[in-house]
Amino acid sequence: MKAKDIMEQVKDYYLSPDDTIRNAVNKMRVVKRDDGIVGLKGMIVLDSEGNLIGMVSVKDILKAIIPFYMTMTELGEFTWEGMLAEMTKKVADRKVEEIMMKDVITVSVDAPLMECADLIVKHNLQRVPVLNKENKAVGIIYVRDLYNAIVKVLLDDKEVHNL
């Protein structure tokens, strides 16, 4: 099997660098994947020509909300009511391009699943964008997609349905 066999097609599952964090959170919350799951924990960022320029995850959003100097102390010590909500509102209109990860690891549509699995494990990734021959993002492989491919190999359909 290859990346193209298990990837989720990009469709409109992407962000623009000009999207605000508020828009990004909303898009990630309402997207419905082909498998019926609603919500994503990360999305790719494409420029106006459809080129992959970054990726934003829930962790990137949390890092934008919680300033660096606060991560150096125990956040559990802070008990100020409404502190997280207030900090969240302050960053809501920041642009995705300010918080996105720019060095994105990708695979080609023809990459073997073993290569995808190796990258996911080696780099502790939750998702890997899939690029076509023109280097345009055409899909994304989530850890769940890779796991489901492994399940199909390990268990026959009868065993999968009996669980």
Interval 100-136: pLDDT, tens: 999 999 999 999 999 999 999 999 999 999 999 999 9
Average pLDDT, the chain: 86
- With 90 as the cut, is the pLDDT of residue 160 above it? no
Query: Could you give the number of structural domains in the chain?
Result: 1
For 108, the domain range is 3-162
pLDDT band at 163 (very low <50, low <70, confident <90, very high): very low
Question: Which residues are paired to 46 by β-bridges?
Answer: 52
| Strand duo 42-46 + 14-15: pairing | parallel
Report whether pLDDT(80) > 80: no
* In the predicted structure, residue 97 carries a pLDDT above the cut 60: yes
Q: So what's the pLDDT on residue 68?
A: 58
> Is the pLDDT reported for residue 69 higher than 80?
no
Q: What is the CATH number of the domain that holds 90?
A: 3.10.580.10
**What is the reported pLDDT for 86?**
80
Is residue 96 within 8 A of residue 74, CB to CB? The reply is no
Q: Are strands 42-46 and 137-142 parallel, antiparallel or unpaired?
A: unpaired
Distance CA 155, CA 161 (A): 10
Return the minimum-mean-pLDDT range out of 4-8, 12-16, 50-54, 138-142. 12-16
